[in-house]
Structures are given as structure tokens and as C-alpha cells.
Amino acid sequence: MALGDDRAMRVGFIGLGIMGSRMAANLARAGHELTVWNRTRAKAQEFATAHGATVADDPAGAAERAEVVVTMVVDGAQVEEVLLGPQGVAEAAPSGLLCVDMSTIAPRDARRIGAALAERDVAFVDAPVTGSSPKAQDGTLTIMAGGTAADFERARPLFDAMGEVVLHVGELGHGQTIKVINNAVAAVNTAVVGQALLTGRAAGVDLEALERVMAAGSGASAMLALKARPMREHDYATLFKLEHMLKDVRLCLDTAADAGASFPFAEQVERILAAATDGGLGERDFAALIEIVEAEQGTRL
């Protein structure tokens, strides 16, 4: 439902990929006024035609009239480039601008970018998301935000339009820390579900029965629900790119190392995802990791 004019915000939105295009569409549907920029301009134009947004020529153009700029690109280098690089957001930032990065990037990059923006009087919140494109589409993402409570509250109307579970999890960078730990768990769990299915297949049990029992009991997980079927059918239509999952698992391993912790299961799944990327599966859904698990066991589901 559209907001009344008093609650509508002027939003710059940067990055209209699988996730960003759907999240920005929910902001437009909620009545916010969008100026969008995307590296591949045609996608921005297509979005603007469908949702009534303005297309900017560069990231600075998306910022010049904005109260909040949202970024949804791939990694820390890209966030830094669009916010702080040439023709970046900081060059045109109106006084009091708030930047909200919803990409998944290294926690230490989020802190560094936040400090650089603070020097230019621009506020920053890291607010990564979980839930793949269907939840981005429905506006039911889980959003975990790090930053000050005041900045979180400023962004909350936007979060409410994009998410269902919206949490202020702590200081700047803690959103990303929680996100990369979560994604490492999802990747490990997907590989475990694949190995379980292969074990069931080898033992000759009915895989439908195995899946139903696990789903109803202590073997249940979001990855069982979402990835067992694509793995069994070798259907890797992309909801979440495998190369992005590899990025996130590596970010988790770096975060663990920085904290003096170890995460050996994440190390194992990093090896599987790296082998899948080397095998040309990086742009497919991360369910494609089953190809490596199968190759290692010399069998197929």
C-alpha cells in the first residue's frame, strides 16, 4: 500500500541485480520516490519504465536529491567505488545523507567505508539480508542492521517495505558479521544435505521418505527445504549465485581468523565451492555444489 506523502522518502537505489531490482520495486510500491543507478544502464531503464523511477547517469546522480541511498552490489570494492569513488555518492551527498549498504561485504570493509563517509558528514548503516529472490520479491527478507540506533530508525520505513524480520543487531559491521556466519552455516548445511541424499541413494532407501522424515524431525533445515529438490533434479536455476556464496564463506573465514576463532566445516565447504567455481558453475545457483560432492563420491543422485 502506498504511503502518505509525509512518510514517503526520496531514495537513491544503486544495484538492480537479482536482489536489488526486487527490493527497489517494493520501495517504489510502498510509495517512496526512487532515483536508480545500475552499472548496466539498460536494466535501470527497464526498472524505471516498470516502476516509475528516475534513472541517474552515475551514483552521484542517484544521491543528489536523496535522503537515503541504498546500495545492493556484490562486494566491498564495489560498495567503496559507488559510494566513495569518482562520480560516487559522496561527491554529491546532501548534508545529512544516510547510506544503507544491503550487499554482503566484509565487516571490516563496512567499518572502513563508514569511517570514510563519516568524515564527509554522511551516515552509514550495514544492513545485509537473508532470503533469496522470492523473499526479495515478496518483501519478506530478514534484514540485520549494524550502526547507531538513530540511523537504524531513519532507515526503518525502507526496511519495513523490503523485509519481514528487521533487526538492529548492534554496532556498524555487526550486520555483516552475523550475515557471513549465517551464510557459512547455509553453505555447510547444503553440502551436508547433499551428502545425506547420496548416502541414502547408496543405501537404497526411498529418497522421498528420507526427505520427509528429515523435514519433520531433527534433520530439518531451511536448506533441506530449499535445496534438496534442486540438487536431486540437478536444476541450478539461479536464486543465489554459487560464486557469491563462495565470497560469503571466505568472508566468514576471514572474520573467524580476525576474531581468533576457527570454523573447520566452513573451510571444507569453501573447498567444495571453489572447485565448483573452477568447474564453471559460479553463476549457477549454489545448489550446484552437489556436482562436486557427487564427483568426490564417484556417483550421482
Write out the catalytic residue numbers: 179
Q: Rule CB under 6 A: is residue 240 a binding residue for ligand NAP? A: yes
If the CB atoms of residues 117 and 210 are measured against ligand NAP, the closer one turns out to be 117
Quick one: which of 9, 13, 20, 166 contacts ligand NAP (CB under 6 A)? 20
Query: In angstroms, what CA-CA distances link 176 with 13, 140, 146, 279?
Result: 19, 19, 8, 28
SS3 99: strand
Residue partners of 12: CB distance under 8 A and separation at least 6: 34, 35, 36, 37, 56, 59, 62, 63, 65, 66, 68, 69, 70, 89
Stretch that binds ligand NAP, among 46-54, 217-225, 236-244, 274-282 (CB under 6 A): 236-244
Q: Which amino acid is it at 44?
A: A
Only one residue has cell 537504524, namely 152
Whole-number Å distance between alpha carbons of 211 and 45: 43
CB 46 within 8 A of CB 75: no
Closest CA to 125 of 166, 74, 64, 183: 166
Q: Rule CB under 6 A: is residue 111 a binding residue for ligand NAP? A: no
Nearest distance in Å: CB 297, ligand NAP = 27
Q: Rule CB under 6 A: is residue 222 a binding residue for ligand NAP? A: no
Nearest distance in Å: CB 75, ligand NAP = 6
Whole-number Å distance between alpha carbons of 234 and 61: 43
Total number of residues binding ligand NAP (CB under 6 A)? 27
If the CB atoms of residues 16 and 224 are measured against ligand NAP, the closer one turns out to be 16
Quick one: which of 9, 16, 56, 228 contacts ligand NAP (CB under 6 A)? 16
Q: Which amino acid is it at 255?
A: T
Whole-number Å distance between alpha carbons of 194 and 228: 7
Whole-number Å distance between alpha carbons of 36 and 120: 22
Q: Rule CB under 6 A: is residue 162 a binding residue for ligand NAP? A: no
Q: Which of residues 119-148 bind ligand NAP (CB under 6 A)?
A: 129-130, 132-133
Whole-number Å distance between alpha carbons of 287 and 255: 24
Quick one: which of 73, 89, 97, 276 contacts ligand NAP (CB under 6 A)? 73
Quick one: which of 72, 100, 106, 162 contacts ligand NAP (CB under 6 A)? 72
Quick one: which of 8, 18, 295, 301 contacts ligand NAP (CB under 6 A)? 18
Nearest distance in Å: CB 88, ligand NAP = 10
Q: Rule CB under 6 A: is residue 74 a binding residue for ligand NAP? A: yes
Q: Rule CB under 6 A: is residue 232 a binding residue for ligand NAP? A: no
The site for ligand NAP (CB under 6 A) is made up of 15-20, 38-40, 43, 72-74, 78, 81-82, 103-104, 129-130, 132-133, 239-241, 244, 248
